[in-house]
Structure 1
Amino acid sequence: MGNDEAGDEKNRVVFVTVGTTCFDALVRAVDSNIVKQALFAKGYTHLFIQMGRGSYLPTKSEEDASLAVDYFTFSSSIAAHLRSASLVISHAGSGSIFETLRLGKPLIVVVNEDLMDNHQSELAEELADRKHLYCASPQTLQQTIADMDLSSLSPYSPGDATPVAQHINNFLGFPDD
């Protein structure tokens, strides 16, 4: 595996996004020392967190920290952040998932277990089953990072959405068209 997964860029940025929601459990998880150590061990150099409406403030890194950490609340477009990322850790919003996959970026989707009727987790789990991304919870994020092999992920092509949409529609109880 090694450090060649994202080419030979000097900076290997992990971009974390919660979208427009509040998902403090995810921000807290990526801000934990065990997750930061797991990312550093995989060769990542920067952690950039979009924290949305959350109230938990991540710890900005000290000068001597192994992983540079910064955060912000909202941006008019996260596309530039996604493009510069070597790894994306996202909430389970379909917009964030598909935008990241379209850019061909490795993705870990973290499911918000506090949401009732969380149909987003169905989408994330289906795409994980198809090896397009990794799926985790805030509690399993560190282990997912430690175990991930980005070379085992399959590229996503937009034409693949039909069976995924069909699966979700069936799950939600919509009849086949």
Structure 2
Amino acid sequence: MTRVFVTVGTTKFDELIENVISEENVKVLIDRGYTELTLQVGHGSHLPSPGSCSGLKMDAFRFKDSISDDMKQADLVISHAGAGSCLEALGAQKALLVVVNDKLMDNHQLELARQLHSNSHLLYCTCSTLTETLKTMDFSTLMPFLPGQPQNFAKFLDKALGIA
């Protein structure tokens, strides 16, 4: 089975949830070989029922203590552009499609998505371009996101202070 995990974190991003489960996008996911869809809807006003995506096994929830297992089991993560969600998916080495909420003012999410995209770590779009992005996405061009190496900073600091 090929799994998609969608997360909006702790926010309310109904537009993303409604777009992902639209008939058109469900068809695109099925055509691309996906068979399961898990939605984490956060504070959204819509909690889809399990049978609402014809052709996909679907599950939805608001919150869990941890979504780490959901990410690990996913073949594709579709996420809002929150830094925590993006870093968790990239740290789990998952194909990541970030959907920026373009209705936010002073959109720091767009800045984050653009920067991580420019470093070839993820793909991003908005709700209005989600369908086309799902149809054309190619994760083979992306580079793995390497975890931080805090020991390098510690070595530098030791050397700068004359400890090592």
State TM-score, norm by structure 1.
0.80
Asked which structure has the greater CA Rg, the reply is 2
CA RMSD of aligned residues (A): 1.6
Post-superposition shift, 1:60?
2.5
Post-superposition shift, 1:36?
0.8
- Equivalent residue number for residue 153 of structure 1: 142
Post-superposition shift, 1:28?
0.6
What does 1:1-177 correspond to in 2, within 5 Å?
Answer: 11-61=1-51, 65-159=54-148
Across the two proteins, how many residue pairs are aligned to each other?
A: 149
User: Is the alpha carbon distance of 1:54 and 1:62 closer, same or farther for their aligned partners in structure 2, counting shifts above 3 Å?
Assistant: closer
User: Is the alpha carbon distance of 1:78 and 1:143 closer, same or farther for their aligned partners in structure 2, counting shifts above 3 Å?
Assistant: same
Partner SS for 1:140: helix
Post-superposition shift, 1:58?
2.5
Please list the CA deviations of residues 96-155 of structure 1 after superposition, one character each: whole Å capped at 9, or x if unmatched. Answer: 001100110000000011211111210111111222111011111111110011211111
User: Is the alpha carbon distance of 1:102 and 1:119 closer, same or farther for their aligned partners in structure 2, counting shifts above 3 Å?
Assistant: same
1:101 counterpart letter in structure 2: L
What percent of counterpart residues are identical? 47
- Equivalent residue number for residue 174 of structure 1: none
Aligned 8 A contact 2:99 2:124 in 1: yes
- Uncovered stretches (5+) of structure 1, i.e. residues with no partner: 1-10, 161-177
Post-superposition shift, 1:62?
6.3
